[in-house]
Amino acid sequence: MSAPAVTITGHRGLQHEEPLIFERDSPGMTGVDLPEPAPVNDRLGGLGRQGRIGLPGLSEPEVVRHYLRLSQKNYAIDAGMYPLGSCTMKHNPRLNEKMARLPGFAGVHPLQPVSTVQGALELIGATGHWLSVLTGMPAVAMSPAAGAHGELTGLMIIRAALEDRGDARKRVLVPESAHGTNPASAAACGYVVESIPANERGRVDLGALKAALGPDVAAFMLTNPNTCGLFESDIIEIAQAVHAAGAFFYCDGANFNAIVGRVRPADLGIDCMHINLHKTFSTPHGGGGPGSGPVVLSAALAPYAPVPYVVSDKNGFRLVESVEESDAKPFGRIKGFHGQVGMFVRALAYMMSLGSDGLRQVAEDAVLNANYLLASLKDTLSVPFEGPCMHEALFDDRFLKDTGVSTLDFAKAMIDEGFHPMTMYFPLVVHGALLMEPTETESKATLDTFIAMVRGLAERAKGGDADYFHGAPRLTPRRRLDETAAARNPILRWSPPAN
């Protein structure tokens, strides 16, 4: 390979080196023309700001160019396959975006009189109805802001229900394969977390679970399909054991995409489950959010759901906004205003587009695509657990043994091939995990290219070309970054150069 051209500007063709906005400062410049403020005697009570804030000044064309150039340094599902296991990076339909921007949704203030927001309340109700029918659960708490926030809400509901029956319990059981948010949410709800091991089939060790259950266990939190991409085949027995111990069965619904329209969590004995709308229901993840994490609930837990919630009667829709107004037993409030309503619009547009038949097809194609990857790569990579898998295929790093190449190195080489890597080193139950989730929105042609690429890289690794992997990626806006230095001496903001 010839060395990359060294340019005078540092730019490389379409790849521009882009300084920080603070380094583009043209003092006094602005990209927004505002009117002269009316001359008034200020009423700031002597608290007017003194001195400059230090914000840079840029014109509109400079701003547009800055962010456009930054955008070009990002990988995205719009650009290619993003098989980040557990994150469900599926196509984000643009109809969703258009609907969310209808002034009748985007322009509504949260504290308008309810007579003027009947459509917004109907939207919350309709989104909840779809989620309720798809999960078979009678109630939904709509306000949590993301998956982890839904976990916390669900656990608070459980704790409130237990305390209401005079049965304060101390522990929450979480499988060791669980996402980090599960134990963190349980701790944030004031519980002691106990880890339950997996068995050799990648499922919860039922014996260990039964041994850990007891009168002080509030809940068992299970991800199903689990983070190894496997359906917990003992789930009915698990539910019975959890209930027999007087505990509640919480399900992390992050992987609902695998079963939507084919299996209803209610039929599995689940009491409570959050749904990440930004996974199963295609709302964009936006480089880190916003998310939305409605929690579906059994009849027994429904009364404890937080405020606000929507009710309807012959006069239309109404909001119950405070604990005092409620005739149920809400544990409190978990978020400002009424939830991530703008995300509900997107999720509802998606659910209506697919319908009951299309959503079922989503689960089937997601599972089919993942099994196709598993079948095509099982002889090239190494597989910790027997298939079939559900929506994601899990591999471990045994295939890299003695090659000098790590899972991380392997992933970095995938980047040069134009693919976003899979999830790595998660779940923790597998050594050097590679968790691939293609989703249903990838075509067979894309999967075949991906498979050929992974096979080629595996061959290269096994062929002894470790240096190639250690030096990857080479074709990206930045090459490997020094994360250790970043953490040792944290520079978390720009500061003016000392002179």
Partner 1 sequence: MRYLPLTGDERRQMLATIGAKSVDDLFRDVPEAARLKDAVDLPPMSGEMEVDRALSAMAAKNLPATAAPSFLGAGAYRHFVPAAVDHLIQRGEFLTAYTPYQPEISQGTLQYLFEFQTQVALITGCEVANASMYDGATACAEAVMMAGRITKRNKAVMSGALHPHYRAVAATYARFLGMTLTTPQPDWTKSEDLAGLIDAETACVVVQNPDFFGRLADRKALADACHAVGALLIVVVTEVVSLGAIRSPGAMDADIVAAEGQSLGNALNFGGPTVGLMATRQKFVRQLPGRLVGQTTDVDGRRGFVLTLSTREQHIRRDKATSNICTNSGLCALAFTIHLTMLGEEGFTRMAAVNHANAVKLAERLAGLPGIKVVNDSFFNEFTVRLPKPAAGVVETLAGKGLFAGVPVSRLLPETPGAETLLLVAVTETNTDDDMDRLIDGLKEATR
Ligand X SMILES: Cc1ncc(COP(=O)(O)O)c(C=O)c1O
Question: Which residues within the stretch 254-313 sit at the binding site for ligand X (CB under 6 A)?
Answer: 254, 276, 291, 293
Which one of 168, 170, 244, 355 is in contact with partner 1 (CB under 8 A)?
A: 355
CB atoms within 10 A of CB 314: 4
CA distance 8 to 12: 10
Residue 288 binds partner 1, judged by CB under 8 A: yes
Element (H, E) at 256: none
Contact indicator for 183, 176 with CB cutoff of 8 Å? no
Closest to partner 1 by CB, 96 or 382: 96
Which one of 167, 244, 444, 452 is in contact with partner 1 (CB under 8 A)?
A: 444
Please identify, among the stretches 214-222, 243-251, 279-287, 294-302, the one whose residues bind partner 1 according to the rule CB under 8 A.
279-287
Closest to ligand X by CB, 293 or 432: 293
Which one of 81, 139, 154, 159 is in contact with partner 1 (CB under 8 A)?
A: 159
CA distance 152 to 248: 14
Could you tell me which of 103, 136, 148, 175 has the C-alpha nearest to residue 345?
Answer: 103
Residue 235 binds ligand X, judged by CB under 6 A: no
CB of residue 118 vs partner 1: minimum separation in angstroms?
Answer: 5
SS3 196: strand
Please list every residue from 51 through 110 that binds ligand X, using CB under 6 A. 86
Structure letter (DSSP) for residue 28: T
Closest to ligand X by CB, 185 or 371: 185
Q: Tell me the number of residues near partner 1 by CB under 8 A.
A: 203
Contact indicator for 269, 245 with CB cutoff of 8 Å? no
Structure letter (DSSP) for residue 172: E
Please identify, among the stretches 65-73, 144-152, 258-266, 389-397, the one whose residues bind ligand X according to the rule CB under 6 A.
144-152
Bond from prior residue into 388 cis (ω within 30 degrees of 0): yes
Which of ligand X, partner 1, none sits in contact with 254, Cβ below 5 to 8 A by type?
ligand X
Contact indicator for 140, 295 with CB cutoff of 8 Å? yes
Which of ligand X, partner 1, none sits in contact with 6, Cβ below 5 to 8 A by type?
none
Residue type at 382 in one-letter notation: S
Closest to ligand X by CB, 403 or 423: 423
Which one of 216, 246, 318, 361 is in contact with partner 1 (CB under 8 A)?
A: 361
Which one of 100, 146, 155, 270 is in contact with ligand X (CB under 6 A)?
A: 146
Closest to ligand X by CB, 422 or 458: 422
Strand order across the beta sheet in which 423-424 lies:
393-395, 434-436, 423-424
Q: What does the angle CA 410 – CA 86 – CA 416 come to, to the nearest 5 degrees? A: 25
Contact indicator for 391, 263 with CB cutoff of 8 Å? no
Please list every residue from 387 through 406 that binds partner 1, using CB under 8 A. 388, 390
Residue 343 binds ligand X, judged by CB under 6 A: no
Tokens 């002889």: give the residue.
379
Please list every residue from 220 through 249 that binds partner 1, using CB under 8 A. 230-231, 233, 235-236
Could you tell me which of 170, 132, 452, 158 has the C-alpha nearest to residue 306?
Answer: 158
Residue 48 binds partner 1, judged by CB under 8 A: yes
Strand order across the beta sheet in which 217-223 lies:
139-141, 295-297, 272-274, 248-252, 217-223, 171-175, 192-196
Closest to ligand X by CB, 171 or 285: 285
Please list every residue from 157 through 196 that binds ligand X, using CB under 6 A. 179, 181
CB of residue 9 vs partner 1: minimum separation in angstroms?
Answer: 14
Q: Which residues bind ligand X (CB under 6 A)?
A: 86, 146-148, 179, 181, 223, 227, 252, 254, 276, 291, 293
